Amino acid sequence: MTDTARAHSWPTGISAITLFVEDLDATKRFYREIFGLPVAFENDNSAVFEFGNTIINLLNATAAPELIEPARVAEAAAGSRLQLTLPVDDVDAMCKELAARGVTLLNGPMDRPWGIRTASFRDPGGHIWEIAK
């Protein structure tokens, strides 16, 4: 296989991200209220939200083992292992909007050495979200 053929066979985007959550109802409510998104699909163990061309699937942590065994589902208290970034037009204005919606920022807004302005917050499942411009 040539390098060109290999490059074309590699995925060009992420279609879905599944986040394991302990409290599906609270996390689902957070995504509806904070991000202003409707639930695209839900059942007893999951709720799906569409972020453009990427879906975020909130999955009850108790249902996660069947997806990842023999790997283990980590406890939320173990610490964060990822950050999801959303582009915004105005970080400072969005921070004010988030505060009005009851969100406590972890940090920011701040100018980063790599040339962007960011702020971060946590969802009820412990996942870190960053807004950036």
pTM > 0.85: no
Per-residue pLDDT tens over the stretch 3-49? 555 555 667 778 899 999 999 999 999 999 999 999 999 999 999 99
Distances (CA, A) of 100 to 32, 62, 103: 15, 32, 7
For strands 128-132 and 83-87, give the pairing.
parallel
**Alpha helices per DSSP H over the chain:** 3-9, 24-35, 65-68, 91-100
- 13 in Cβ contact with 53 (< 8 Å): yes
In 3D space, the residue among 49, 30, 21, 38 whose CA is nearest the CA of residue 103 turns out to be 30
Tokens linked to 95 = 């921070």
